[in-house]
Amino acid sequence: MELSLAFIGWFFALTSAGALVFGGLLVLMLVRAGDLEQRYLSYSIWNDLVLAAIWVLGLAGGIGVIRLQPWGRYLLELFCWALIVLLPLSAASRFYALRQPDPGQPPVNWLGAIGGITLILIPVIAICAATIVTLRSPEAMKAFS
């Protein structure tokens, strides 16, 4: 299934920009609440910086595809491959965290956890795969040259 280059560019540019704004707002809320330092003691700032860099890669790739710049095609494909690798790893780590509940907590709702992860994982991987196929198509190669 091939998608329109305009759709791909705008979809990934807007989604990446939204993710960056949302992440920035979350960090700002943590700073104002005074919880940021405590959070970074238990959770590395490097994770957030790498995540932000990946979203910047998606934003730049989306803009490059909108402008039909050859580098945009490569950046967006790299972004899609990163999502295809990182999303299952993130889902697996969340499942692992659910496997060890705190004592005294209610039992884990495995059906809800599997459903929630599936509702995110399958569509994102599908659109990333369709994007990669589209960006590698002969029509896209011609448009970017």
Distant-in-sequence, close-in-space partners of 49: CB < 8 Å, separation ≥ 6: none
At 23 the pLDDT is 86
pLDDT digits (tens, 9 = 90+) for 61-104: 999 999 999 999 999 999 999 999 988 888 887 777 777 666 77
Q: What is the pTM of this model?
A: 0.82
At 72 the pLDDT is 94
Spatial separation of the C-alpha atoms in residues 129 and 9, rounded to whole Å: 15
pLDDT digits (tens, 9 = 90+) for 99-138: 766 677 777 777 887 888 888 899 999 999 999 999 999 9
What residue ranges do the domains of the chain occupy?
Answer: 5-144
* Average pLDDT over every residue of 15-28: 90
